[in-house]
Structure 1
Amino acid sequence: MISSPLRYSPDLELPRPDEVETDESLEKSFDHILETTARDYGRAVRAVHAKAHGLFEGMFTIHDNLPPELAQGLFATPGVHPASLRISTNPGDILDDNVVLPRGLGLKVERVAGERLPEAEGDGQDFLMVNAPVFAVSTPDKFAGKLKLLAATTDRAEGAKVALSTTLGAINAALGAIGLESSALAGLGGARQVHPLGETFFSTVPFRYGDYVAKFRLRPLSPSLTILTNAIIDTSGRPDGLRETIRQDAANLTGEWAFEVQLARDPEKQPIEDASVEWKEEDAPFVQVATLRIEPQDSWSADKVERIDETLHFSPWNALVAHRPLGGINRARRRAYKHSSEFRVRVNGCPFTGAAQGAE
């Protein structure tokens, strides 16, 4: 039997006494990644999720007649919003696609009304997701430790990374810093390079959902996307093979994703502070509250690269008060992501302006 949704209360969060030191460690690791990659590339890139594979503009439709527990915050008012979508891989290096890595997805729902968090800029509500249901580490201090390992792999043995040999173990050991460790990467051959447009993406960490608490999921819905689930992309000899394939497919693709909400029911089974625990669907089911739709488009056009990849930032803290990020991992991201975005502004000499602004 499914219990009633857990009511939001500030008391659900239990900050650790060492989080100031954790924040300082994260900033130090971010600085190493940012400074190394800026030197290598001649410009600043994101400290995590540096390489994008597809950039999309779409429409985010909030469903009407949602039950009261789902009609919360952004989702309390039915309607259609423009949205920007960025599909990426997790490290701060811009690597050859023959290194098979976990994926990330940044979704910015734009022209959003409502009370915003103090640090939120523009008018967007951001959702950051990865292609796994849980974060690989449980607490902020472990997050900082994993990011320190990831920083140590930056700019090291590029040829070996492309060959999927000795460096893959070090990369994989650090991927928990962005939410996922892949056991397949421990092998010499890496994981299968499946099509990103066919994958399901998860927030992995909890958020306030108005009066309640939730995680989020973006699931392929239309046949044009589900047919790509587990489809293999051959990147042999193609360092940007994912980007090329997505661009070719996007030119003729009309696709829809289900945006789903998973309301917490039991703080023991759906903990707020341990991001490594999966909220099981049998205890807390996902329910669709909106649909994201894209029409055929150029997913790597010059204007999208300029607006979405170069100028746009994504942060869980670029949000409405009703969708405040919760838990230690989200608290750790708050300062670190802002630090990263400020570095990009300073080095690239380009302020981030426009309707869609954020932190990373």
Structure 2
Amino acid sequence: MATPSDRERAAITRLENLFLGLQASRYVGLDRRVQRPVFLKPQGHARGVFTIRPDLPAELRVGVFALEESSAWVRFSSDTSPQIPDAANATLGLAIKLLDVPGPKLLGGEEQALTHDFVLQNHDVFFVDDAETFADFTEVSLASAEAFEAFLASHPDTARILQEMAKEEDSALLARYSSTVPYAFGDRFVKYALRPRADSCDPPPVPKEKRGPNHLRRDLRRRLLERGARFDFFLQFQKDPESMPLEKATVRWSEELSPLIQVATLELPAGQDIDTPGQPEAIDNLSYSPWHALPEHAPVGSINRARRAVYKASADYRRRRNHVPIGEPSEAV
């Protein structure tokens, strides 16, 4: 795996400072609690069961995929502030925290935790290639509209991907999710994908003209109470390092060259209420990180190396200022 250059390290430090500054400014401007720097509009949390295919071949039984099943907490969110209506076409995030996963974890300070995280969103590529460009993007996006437009004009791939990402979803439970960036799979490399199962797509979505500003949360609550949901979890292996690079996060990996392989199912049982008193606050205090993972599933690529530092710094700052102890959940949460 690539070693970060001095320029990448400097970019990661810039990103840490930018995101921590953003969190500090929101601490003053919202409800006196420090918010996440990204994906801070919570749509809801759900209990789930992550079940490995019983007929999974031995060569795919690596890391968490060597288990039979794990309980999970799942966070659905939008990459916008809570005041922004869902019709604004913000990117959706889905984070899975598996419970009772033995083995050391990669994230500093959480090596002995019995949890493992998957962090996904509803688009299959990232909007910049590397940490340096990510830092430049973040700086101009916080500077002025003029600087941001000039950046997009000089980075047409970023502009195109941001347009692709600006899609309104009918339901957080009907969206298709991806890791967007690659991970190790033992001595190979993969991306993850999560797709809703056809047998869990009823009832039909509410028509657009009848949706309110928080329709995604209402839809999530309704579906989980009535039907629950089921997703298939897939691996996509890197077959060609040239056309499926690890260090260029804007490059889409071809499903024709490397078809998705279904390896597990995520089931969210029916009858659970995301508005149960106390539960939303308790679960939203949790942090999710691509690096809260077994070594067999180590994140790879420049964007993931930036995430390691930025996610941890942001989570530590949020917990410290909100007086939330560091810790991972159990089934009792």
TM range (shorter): 0.7 to 0.9
Unaligned 5+ segments in structure 1 are 1-9, 157-165, 186-190
Aligned position for 1:5: none
Deviation, structure 1 residue 302: 2.8
Deviates more, 1:266-275 or 1:110-119: 110-119
Deviation, structure 1 residue 117: 1.4
Question: Secondary structure in 2 aligned to 1:269?
Answer: coil
Q: Residue type matched to 1:124 in 2?
A: T
Question: Secondary structure in 2 aligned to 1:284?
Answer: coil
TM-score (norm 2): 0.87
Matches within 5 A, 1:96-107: 96-107=85-96
Deviation, structure 1 residue 222: 4.1
Q: Residue type matched to 2:266 in 1?
A: L
In the aligned structure 1, how far is the partner of 2:14 from the partner of 2:82?
20
Identity of aligned residues (%): 32
Structure 2 contact 223–229 (Cα < 8 Å) conserved: no
In the aligned structure 1, how far is the partner of 2:149 from the partner of 2:213?
20
Aligned position for 2:273: 298
In the aligned structure 2, how far is the partner of 1:24 from the partner of 1:235?
44
Aligned position for 2:104: 115
In the aligned structure 1, how far is the partner of 2:83 from the partner of 2:286?
18
Distance verdict in 2 for CA 1:299–1:35, change over 3 Å = same
- Which of residues 40, 58, 64 is equivalent to 1:50? 40
2:305 is equivalent to residue 315 of structure 1: no
Aligned position for 2:25: 36
Aligned position for 1:196: 172
2:136 is equivalent to residue 145 of structure 1: yes
Moved over 6 A (4+): none
Distance verdict in 2 for CA 1:132–1:232, change over 3 Å = farther
Aligned position for 2:318: 344
Aligned position for 1:211: 187
Question: Secondary structure in 1 aligned to 2:278?
Answer: helix
Distance verdict in 2 for CA 1:86–1:150, change over 3 Å = farther
- Which of residues 235, 245, 264 is equivalent to 2:238? 264
Deviates more, 1:97-106 or 1:123-132: 97-106
Aligned position for 2:261: 287
Structure 2 contact 229–269 (Cα < 8 Å) conserved: yes
Deviation, structure 1 residue 14: 4.9
Structure 1 contact 139–273 (Cα < 8 Å) conserved: yes
Aligned position for 2:329: 355
Aligned position for 1:182: 163
Question: Secondary structure in 1 aligned to 2:132?
Answer: helix
Deviation, structure 1 residue 68: 3.2
Deviates more, 1:202-211 or 1:66-75: 66-75
Distance verdict in 2 for CA 1:354–1:196, change over 3 Å = closer
Structure 2 contact 95–118 (Cα < 8 Å) conserved: yes
In the aligned structure 2, how far is the partner of 1:37 from the partner of 1:138?
28
- Which of residues 25, 28, 51 is equivalent to 1:61? 51
Unaligned 5+ segments in structure 2 are none
Q: Residue type matched to 1:346 in 2?
A: R
Deviation, structure 1 residue 99: 2.1
In the aligned structure 1, how far is the partner of 2:40 from the partner of 2:236?
29
- Which of residues 298, 302, 306 is equivalent to 1:328? 302
Question: Secondary structure in 2 aligned to 1:52?
Answer: strand
CA deviations over 1:174-211 (Å, ceiling 9, x no partner): 9x99xx613585xxxxx444212101100011111113
- Which of residues 67, 74, 84 is equivalent to 1:85? 74
Structure 1 contact 138–275 (Cα < 8 Å) conserved: yes
In the aligned structure 1, how far is the partner of 2:59 from the partner of 2:163?
35
In the aligned structure 2, how far is the partner of 1:33 from the partner of 1:235?
34
Deviation, structure 1 residue 346: 1.9
Aligned pairs, number: 321
CA RMSD of aligned residues (A): 2.9
TM-score (norm 1): 0.81
Structure 1 contact 250–298 (Cα < 8 Å) conserved: yes
Question: Secondary structure in 1 aligned to 2:135?
Answer: helix
Deviation, structure 1 residue 94: 4.7
Deviation, structure 1 residue 232: 5.6
